[in-house]
Structure 1
């Protein structure tokens, strides 16, 4: 069998490296800056890890579990660029400004855009109001005529017509056609100490400075463990995820949040541990790697749970998951003390 040569990259691209290493947004930043920085450095400078835990309830739908295991809520791209010392410009507009897009691309500058992911054809192309409310960053990496080349995790850029991309751009209404353009090379050395301090502060809190801080950092982990064990109140998993439909939705979502969405595998902890090795903090790195094992074990148990698991089986699973959260919390408290 003759091995086929890889397809050539289209003309009109500003860079050649595409695809996600371990973390999508870190890879976007790395590639847009010419792949001169390691992915773990970009991820760590952006803040690396965090923890946010909420369960949202909407009429007619099973409870929606949301865990964000990466740094949050500070914007990932801006945080990475700030600590790399890379200057950039952010603009908003009431409509897509294709003149600004082309001006930046013609100058050799990739364009970061916040879009409605659900309207992108490679994500299904079916508008979803809940998905569209969340900012989703992609990079415009070039264009030819009215066709844009978009980096969004795949090993090659996506081709999309300006008009169609404009619908996804407009679909994220809160973004107001936001575009971020790096405007020059890095100035000075990366702010590693500032990044590490910000991560420690985010885990120990407060994060927002309001009543929702209980859902963030170590407090958020404690809340998750407590609700997993809660057999009495309506916010406990016993009641909240007690039906087969809710149990299936909650357990699968738990796996997705810790391994796939808004994270790197292992709740982003292995990637952050690699950053800490670069930063000269190997003891803390080892503890975060141990914690990652707990998070991945928890995610796999959730993924493998049968939708028709009976009540005693659900109770045993929730208790096991809570114990794993406790283990990660203890390890991460020790790690932060070493930062």
Structure 2
């Protein structure tokens, strides 16, 4: 008799993975107000809001997954998955409420996927968001052995009157940068090409960084929920830009109104040596670097000049002034 397991799908192993997730979530979020976890859907009462506006985001980790799978290190990409979604949602002024994950693989490897979920749970803790559920799709014949893909989904809520719309952005406003932890989860196709072209292995040591190539690349994406909450409680946040694929130019322009240009002072950005390392190794032009990587700035806030010092005091060394807004063609200029 032919069974589903014979076709490559192991329901018992999948059930064991679901049981692991349930127990992990129960321990990680013991006071969760979720009405149910592990059924067909999870519910969360939206309390304490008079005019709630719901925001949502979906994203993945990109080809950073190939680095993780080649090295056999799977927990950090779980953090990345949460970060890429939560960091988008909080740019609206919303507080992240729920996170869901989607894992697709040819065969469920419990050791691997448990590590991924461990990272997702850690990311949810850092992002101050509840892991509400997810889906694990075992698809034999579709994904090669040892390969999996990830997608994430985040939902947040904000009072209508507290939504960050960017409508108050004006000439003279200040650009406040928040440090990134490194490459985050963007630009990995270029990084992998540079490494391949130069014959550099993931296990090779980068002396000037004091780490292996793999350790540098798998540094988790920073999650900015605590910092954005601090800013919201101390100053008027006019706009927030999450610096992801496309770098500062392609992301900052999204919060600029017509007739306003952003001037970014690259010398004001604290140096992160990982960018100089990959630029030198690959002979990448500076313009291409800024259009591909975050270059040390993971999030940019737009605040009024009057609020600048207050914002810096609230965040301490985590924040720095990296430019200003002025009248002109709607564009981002890096000087």
TM-score, normalized by length of structure 1? Answer: 0.27
Identify the structure with the greater strand proportion: 2
Identify the structure with the greater helix proportion: 1
